[in-house]
Amino acid sequence: MSDFLAANNICGQSLLRLVSRGNAIIAELMRLKDYVPPVFRLESKRHLQKYGSIIMDFAYFKAANVNEQKIENDNTLQELDENLRDNYTDVLTRIYLAFESIHKYITDFNAYIDELDDGHYIQQSVETVMLNEEGKQLMCEAVYLYGVMLLLVDHQFEGHVRERLLVSYYRYNAQRSSSTRVDDVCTLLRSTGFSKSSAKRPPNYPEDYFGRVPIKSKFIELLIGRLRSDEIYSQSLAFPNPEHRSIASANQAAMLVIILSFQPSILHNSSATMREIVDRFFPDNWVISIYMGIVLNLCDWWLPYKATRTALNNTLETANIKKTAQNYGLKIKKLITETEKLQLAVTLDENEIESVIKLIRECNVSLHWMLLHTTVPTVLREESKRSRLLRQQVINESKYTPEECLKLLLSTAQIEQDVKQIYKQLLHDKESKWSENKNTCVERINDLAQVLETNKYVDSVETNECLKMWFKEISAHVSSLQQEDGRKIAQLLQALEEVQEFHQLENNLQVSQYLNDTREILHNMLRTGSITEDTLIALNILTDCCYAWNIMETFIDIMQNNIKKNPPTVIKLKALFLKMASALEMPLLRINQARSADLSSVSQYYSRELESYARRVLQIIPETVFGLLAQIVHLETNVFKEIPMKLYKDKLKDYAQLDERLQMAKLTYAVSVFTKGVLSLRSVSLGVLRVDSHRLLEDGIRQELAKKITIALHNGLTFDNKSKASLVEKLNDLANVMDGYRKSFQYIQDYININSLKIWHEEITFIINAALEDECKNSTWMPSKSWKMLITDDKQDYSSLVEANGGSTFMGRLAKELIRVTDPKTTVYIEHALAWYDLKSQNEILNYKVFSMVLMAIGTPGLHGLDKLLSHFITMELKNLFKYVDHGVRDKSWGAMIDECGAIIQNIEYCRNNPGKLYSSVMNHSNKIWPYMIECLLKIGHYQLLRNKISYELNTACKFEAKHVESALRTLNLAVLDELRKKSDECLTTQEERDFIHELSIRLDWTGISDPLNKTYLKLSSLNHLDLLLFLFTISYLHKLHYCKNTASLLSKKTQDSIDAVVFTIGVQTFLRQFSNDIFNNYITYLCKYVLSFVSSDSGKMGSEWESEGTTILYYLQLISKGSKWVLNEIKCNEDVVGVIHNRVHRRQMHQRLLAVGGCTPFIGDKCGSRCTQLLVRPTKRTHNRIGFSVANRITPIPIILQKV
């Protein structure tokens, strides 16, 4: 046996590695079933309409070129196709590799059989391998695992979905999929017509499916013959009772059922063979587990086969089912009583282990039959009417109740763990205990010899030299005993009994007691010597519950109800989880024997599944805790009065609220009781994972907290599009709800031993980030934890909520509502009032305080998340605008406008004499050019303005809440900037420096120490004439503005055609910031030249319209200079410039000539309230052929040097 699997036996090792790979493939298929992208199922009408032309089944191969051409000719389809390629290539590749490994597996196995037939392995053939016990097992397992793979693929990856996955992989991985193996995989795994949702079974299923890659018929017959006649796993040692024969051979029976499908002729025609198989393996059972809880009902599985159906009818007779079900029903009730009685004994006696093992055997056999025959099958879920009636008959006749079954299961699991612990301890102490008993026995016998020799210690005992010598000899025999000498020990026991009887030693109580003690010690030695690992192995076979791997899901509700009624019952579940963990031994056995690298991956998968099951069961505790917490929240927010700083004695009773505080105390105690229940688990090993109860509790609380917060955010951030006042009201209400949750969560932290503040911030951050990711990806599915999964069906119907709100996340709705309320088309932002006003009513709509309210409602993570979402919107608009301008500058109409206007600008004299000429030329060409640009730039400016306010709010809050952190980051930022300036234009040389700056940038954004208006969002290539184009665009829209002295800002001349000057300026500035500094400088230069057309000796002759144009542009220059914090380079000129500035802000109209000779008094605009900004135009200095003017605010003058050409 051991020779076949020896490391130097190539034949055995090859087969072992193949079977090991089969178990690993099944684990991978079970893992990937949850990662199939929903879009490939095309279950919803939306997915079908959107992706139906891209995601195709095998019909694609009939006209591949036509289908590809159709996609290439449609830009929308092409974009969707690229999106699918980018998002799902990795998933598709992994699924395909799993499918390919199935084909490779069976191909390699067939090659192995051919090599055996060809004599490739010396002195080995199929027959000799089948004569070896291990070889026989591995041969059967290899074919059986292949059948399980095929069934699992067809069950978890339905045919049409499977074909779409394969076609998509073929399209997206053209280079890798060029091999012929793809064709073979497609042939093997094409749709069989089977569907879980269909009651109709495809004809000749699964035999046609199993025969797509044929296995030699004679070899299959040989396997079936061995499985029929031999006991290949020798499990009769664990199940010696003939009544348990069907349970003992359950694994072999499952293999036989699968392998028979490779030889359908036996199922159809061999009545005698099938009768023999049914009588041996299925005399009282017809539901089996084929692999890790995949349940199969033979009544339906063998329905199409005449011989099999006839043979199974004997088992399915009503009388037989009634008798069997009643027997097992009575057994379960009897066993529940016996196990409870045994558990009341608290401790188990070592001498009673054999009887306890018998009880464990009876419990497991009864549970095995009852659980399988009362569950719904996994394969062919749409049962026939007869199968449903059979299951109902079993339930009725056995009087089965899930509660009783779970009760027995928990008791059995607990007893099993106790017995295993005792037996492991006995094995561990076997040597020491044996030696101790032997030495004690020798001492006792020597003492007896001394008594008989001297009569010194015991009275009334006659000396007997012969008896003394006999005891000396016995002592010598005992000293020479070994653990294997069981028969010698039995002979010594018999001799001691005889000597006591023949020599009448029993008359002396002391000698008699000595002899009895000595015999008891010998009995202990006999029991200790008989302790072997075989008993523990048999116990592991008895307690195997891999058949119930999926069935246990049906008991979750019952377990949770029990925990809810009595939290300490959680400790009983620990034994159940350990029992389920023992099921991992079956799929890992061959992988471990082969020393395969897949051991870690497979064990991790099953352990994670078991851990997930344990978490789902125990999640009732956090759910119940949060149910209690909801009542605490209600008391905290609505019932308890806030106690003032000073309280008068006569009002003390009003604030005491004794009944309410008693209720709070009761709720708090209930929370602590539930917490104690789960913490009683301490640490439990689930496969290769060790789960700590405290971590389990914390994770459950995190999950439940995330649910509650997510629901609160969804409900709270749903807005009425018809009202602009609902935003403030909603934020106030949400702030109250969130504050109640936060206070109550902090209140109970000491009673459940968690760090509530840390958990609160981490979960809020996770929810916000997950919602942002989903919003930015436009709900593109990715195989990762999604915030949508936090809302369960029993809490709220998420799909209807999303549909009712346009399919957006709560972050998206908040951002869109904020954008809608402050829309530049309907409102105007007044910088000095820090508020938005309605254009029609001129009432204040919203002010800067709204960002403080957002901060109170969703915290710093939410406000920062809103900032990130706006950044995403800005990036998208910048991309669209760049694409539009890039396409436009190549257009002839754009080129004609640029050429004409460029010529006018170059002719300064003409421009001065005809200041409206340039504007007229621009307007003649730009009717179709500007609308899209102004829309994009207003959106960009609008989003940037909101970001600027958010940044200010974050920084203000940080200064109050964490002033030292804010100061440290600000100082560090200045130091880093100083270091970067010293490097001149050198790029960063190390990755460490780049990583450091990236991390610093993240922290600066969180604390609001950033300047959103001067951010570079994209790296864009330069465009020809972009500076001139933006200049022309600017003057065409600045003409619609005028300076208002009441608001000290630029406002639209016409309400119907409104432009928000602040938003407009920020939008233009942001777009310019994405390009090189030269473009910005050139843009300012063009504006300065345009100003010169109004600052001339003839400027007094201009009309009032063009007189105000100069003021508008100068104020615009002030806005853009202040926003960009841009220090403009000096530009030289050849002669002095005479500037005449006409400002309509003043109470009197005037012309002032600013001469280049000497200085003059600055011209300052009227002050409109305390927030009014000074408009300063003054000569800065005079040198030869050079003059400058400066436009500044109160804080920092920014020089603007004008040039006359």
pLDDT tens, 1051-1084?
A: 888 877 788 899 999 999 999 989 888 898 889 8
Q: pLDDT confidence of 322, banded at 50, 70, 90? A: very high
| SS percent in the chain: helix, strand, coil, step 5 | 70, 5, 25
- Do 348 and 310 fall into the same domain? no
Question: Alpha-carbon distance 277 to 361, whole Å?
Answer: 25
CA distances (Å), origin 194, targets 5, 152, 189, 204, 446: 39, 12, 12, 11, 80
Lowest mean pLDDT segment, chosen from 536-545, 772-781, 883-892, 914-923: 772-781
Residue with tokens 């054999």: 354
Question: Alpha-carbon distance 1170 to 1173, whole Å?
Answer: 9
What is the mean predicted confidence (pLDDT) over 320-325?
A: 94
- Do 415 and 470 fall into the same domain? no
Question: Alpha-carbon distance 305 to 420, whole Å?
Answer: 45
CA distances (Å), origin 181, targets 90, 99, 148: 19, 11, 21
Structure tokens that stand for 1041 in this block: 């503005």
Q: Give the DSSP per-residue string, 826-851.
A: TEEEETTTTEEEETTT--EEEETHHH
Give the pLDDT confidence score for residue 463 in this predicted structure.
65
Q: pLDDT confidence of 456, banded at 50, 70, 90? A: low
Asked if residue 153 belongs to a domain, the reply is yes
Q: Which of 118-132, 462-476, 1165-1179 has the highest mean pLDDT?
A: 118-132
Residue 636 DSSP one-character state: I
Out of 199, 224, 243, a domain closes at 199
Residue 1188 has pLDDT above 90, yes or no: no
Asked if residue 793 belongs to a domain, the reply is no
Q: pLDDT confidence of 506, banded at 50, 70, 90? A: low
Question: Alpha-carbon distance 110 to 116, whole Å?
Answer: 10
| Neighbouring C-alpha atoms within 13 Å toward the C-beta of 516 | 8
Cβ-count burial 993-1006 (b if 16+ within 10 Å, e if not)? eeeeeeeeeeebbb
Give the pLDDT confidence score for residue 795 in this predicted structure.
35
Residue 27 has pLDDT above 90, yes or no: yes
Give the pLDDT confidence score for residue 330 in this predicted structure.
95
Residue 1190 DSSP one-character state: E
Give the pLDDT confidence score for residue 779 in this predicted structure.
39
Question: Alpha-carbon distance 312 to 793, whole Å?
Answer: 42
Asked if residue 99 belongs to a domain, the reply is yes
Out of 409, 428, 447, a domain closes at 428
Give the pLDDT confidence score for residue 250 in this predicted structure.
93
959 within 8 A of 1007, measured Cβ to Cβ = no
The values of phi and psi at residue 399, to 5°, are: 55, 45
- Do 15 and 99 fall into the same domain? yes
Give the pLDDT confidence score for residue 431 in this predicted structure.
84
- Between the two ends of the chain, the Cα-to-Cα distance in Å is 102
Lowest mean pLDDT segment, chosen from 107-121, 417-431, 1169-1183: 1169-1183
Asked if residue 1145 belongs to a domain, the reply is yes
Lowest mean pLDDT segment, chosen from 3-7, 47-51, 609-613, 1020-1024: 1020-1024
Residue 101 has pLDDT above 50, yes or no: yes
- Do 38 and 129 fall into the same domain? yes
Give the pLDDT confidence score for residue 97 in this predicted structure.
94
The values of phi and psi at residue 295, to 5°, are: -95, 140
CA 1104, 1105, 1110, 1114 dihedral sign is: positive
Question: Alpha-carbon distance 904 to 397, whole Å?
Answer: 102
Portion of the chain with pLDDT greater than 90, in percent: 40
CA dihedral 63, 66, 71, 75 (to 10 degrees): -170
- Do 35 and 92 fall into the same domain? yes
What is the mean predicted confidence (pLDDT) over 1092-1102?
A: 57
The values of phi and psi at residue 767, to 5°, are: -65, -45
1146 within 8 A of 1166, measured Cβ to Cβ = yes
Residue 292 has pLDDT above 50, yes or no: yes
The values of phi and psi at residue 351, to 5°, are: -75, -15
Asked if residue 630 belongs to a domain, the reply is no
- Do 885 and 986 fall into the same domain? yes
Give the pLDDT confidence score for residue 856 in this predicted structure.
94
Q: pLDDT confidence of 174, banded at 50, 70, 90? A: low
Q: pLDDT confidence of 1131, banded at 50, 70, 90? A: very low
- Do 419 and 442 fall into the same domain? no
Give the pLDDT confidence score for residue 1135 in this predicted structure.
29
Residue 22 or 755, more confident? 22
Give the pLDDT confidence score for residue 984 in this predicted structure.
61
- Do 1185 and 1044 fall into the same domain? yes
Question: Alpha-carbon distance 270 to 225, whole Å?
Answer: 13
Residue 448 has pLDDT above 60, yes or no: yes
The values of phi and psi at residue 191, to 5°, are: -60, 135
Residue with tokens 């076979």: 541
What is the mean predicted confidence (pLDDT) over 1001-1019?
A: 90
Out of 507, 537, 567, a domain closes at 537
Domain containing residue 1169: 875-1010+1019-1200
Contacting residues for 143 by C-beta, under 8 A, at least 6 apart: 109, 215, 220, 223, 258, 259, 262
Give the pLDDT confidence score for residue 1138 in this predicted structure.
27
Asked if residue 14 belongs to a domain, the reply is yes
Please report which helix (H) or strand (E) contains residue 290, including its range: strand 287-291
Tell me the pLDDT tens digit for each residue of 637-695: 788 887 888 888 888 887 888 888 898 888 888 888 888 877 777 777 777 788 888 88
Q: pLDDT confidence of 1105, banded at 50, 70, 90? A: low
- Do 499 and 410 fall into the same domain? no
Please report which helix (H) or strand (E) contains residue 1094, including its range: none
Give the pLDDT confidence score for residue 1193 in this predicted structure.
32
Work out the burial of residue 974: count CB atoms within 10 Å of its CB; fewer than 13 is exposed, 13-18 middle, 19 or more buried: exposed
What is the mean predicted confidence (pLDDT) over 909-913?
A: 60
Question: Alpha-carbon distance 726 to 728, whole Å?
Answer: 6
Residue 917 has pLDDT above 80, yes or no: no
Asked if residue 822 belongs to a domain, the reply is no
Question: Alpha-carbon distance 1117 to 1173, whole Å?
Answer: 13
Q: pLDDT confidence of 911, banded at 50, 70, 90? A: low
Number of domains in the chain: 5
What is the mean predicted confidence (pLDDT) over 177-196?
A: 84
Asked if residue 885 belongs to a domain, the reply is yes
Question: Alpha-carbon distance 209 to 205, whole Å?
Answer: 7
- Do 1091 and 1185 fall into the same domain? yes
Give the pLDDT confidence score for residue 800 in this predicted structure.
41
- Do 1058 and 1126 fall into the same domain? yes
What does the mean pLDDT of the chain come to? 82
| Neighbouring C-alpha atoms within 13 Å toward the C-beta of 935 | 7
- Do 416 and 354 fall into the same domain? yes
582 within 8 A of 544, measured Cβ to Cβ = yes
Q: pLDDT confidence of 989, banded at 50, 70, 90? A: low
410 within 8 A of 563, measured Cβ to Cβ = no
